[in-house]
Amino acid sequence: MSSPGSPVYVLGVGMTKFIKPRGQVGYPEMGYEAGIKALADAGVNYDDVDTGIACYAYGDSTSGQRVFYQFGMTGIPIYNVNNNCSTGSTGLHMARKFLARGAGDVALVVGFEKMLPGSLRAVFSDRTNPLDKSFLMMVNTRGVDPERPGTAQIFGNAGREYMEKFGATKEDFAEIARVNHEHSRRNPYSQFRDVYTLEQIMESPEIWDPLTKLQCCPTSDGAAAAVLVGEKWLQGHPELREKAVLIAGQAMAT
C-alpha cells in the first residue's frame, strides 16, 4: 500500500436543508448554496481553490461544471463523481489523495442530488444494469420481490447475512435507526425531525426483513460541501490553523 502522503484538513463545511423531491429547487441552486457556505465557513475565496470535485448519482454528465461555474470561471479542473451511496465519500477520498500527494493545495468538494419521488429505480433501460449480478445472486439465495424496493432488498439481505454470520439481532439494526432519528431533532437541515422509540421503529411496516419503514431512507433533494486543504498551504495561512480538522484516517474499498 502506498504511503498516505502529507496531512490533509477539512477547513470548512456547508449544507442545505434536505427536502422532499418535488422539483422545488434546482441542483445548481442547492450546490451553490452548499459551496458558498463551505467557503465562508473555511474563510477562503474561490480563487484559492485549485481543484473542484462534484458528487452526484442522478444527473447528466458535467452537472458539476454547471454548479461550479457559479463560483467563478477560474479554469480549474472539475471532476464529476458518481458512485451510488458512497458518491460523497468518494469525492472526499479523491480530494484528500490529490492534496496529500501535492497535486493541489485547496479542494472544494460539492455533493448534490435532485431525485425523483418514490423508490430508487434504474434510469437507463437499454443497457446492462450494474447490479444485475447482485440481483441474480439474491434470486438464487434469498428471492426477489418485484413489488418491493430493490435497494431495500439488497441492504436487507446483507443485514440478514450479517445476522447469520455474527449473531446480530433485529434490535441491533433498529437501534441504529433510533439513534439517527434522535440526532435529527438537533439538525435543522434534516428532512424529518421526528423521534421514535425502539419499539416504534421495529413495529413500523416491514419493507424487507429485517428492515422496517422507519429504518429506510426517504428520497431527498439537497446538497453538502467541504473545503479541504493540504499541510503546505495551511502552513502559509497560520491564522486558519485553529479551525482546521485533520483527516486522521480514511479508507475505501470495492
Question: Residue 2 — very low, low, confident or very high, per pLDDT cuts 50/70/90?
Answer: very low
Mean pLDDT of 140-167: 94
Structural domains in the chain plus CATH codes: 8-117+220-246 (3.40.47.10), 134-215 (no CATH)
Q: At what angle do helices 150-166 and 132-141 cross, to 10 degrees?
A: 60
Q: For 101-146, where are the alpha helices, taking DSSP H only?
A: 132-141
Mean pLDDT of 120-125: 76
Question: Residue 1 — very low, low, confident or very high, per pLDDT cuts 50/70/90?
Answer: very low
E strands of the chain, at which residues? 8-15, 51-55, 78-81, 106-113, 206-208, 211-212, 222-230, 245-246
d(CA 149, CA 166): 26
Q: What is the pLDDT of residues 31-73, one digit of tens each?
A: 999 999 999 999 999 999 999 999 999 999 999 999 999 999 9
d(CA 19, CA 31): 14
Give the alpha-carbon dihedral of 13, 178, 176, 90, to 10 degrees.
Answer: -20
Q: Which of 80, 96, 38, 81 is nearest to 250 (CA)?
A: 96
Q: List b or e across 12-37, with b for residues whose CB sees 16 or more CB atoms inside 10 angstroms.
A: bbbbbbbeebeeebebbbbbbbbbbb
CB 6 within 8 A of CB 219: no
Q: Which of 8, 18, 91 is nearest to 54 (CA)?
A: 91
Q: Identify which has the larger pLDDT, 96 or 24.
A: 96
Q: What is the pLDDT of residues 192-242, one digit of tens each?
A: 999 999 999 999 999 999 999 999 988 899 999 999 999 999 999 999 999
Q: What pTM value is reported for the model?
A: 0.92
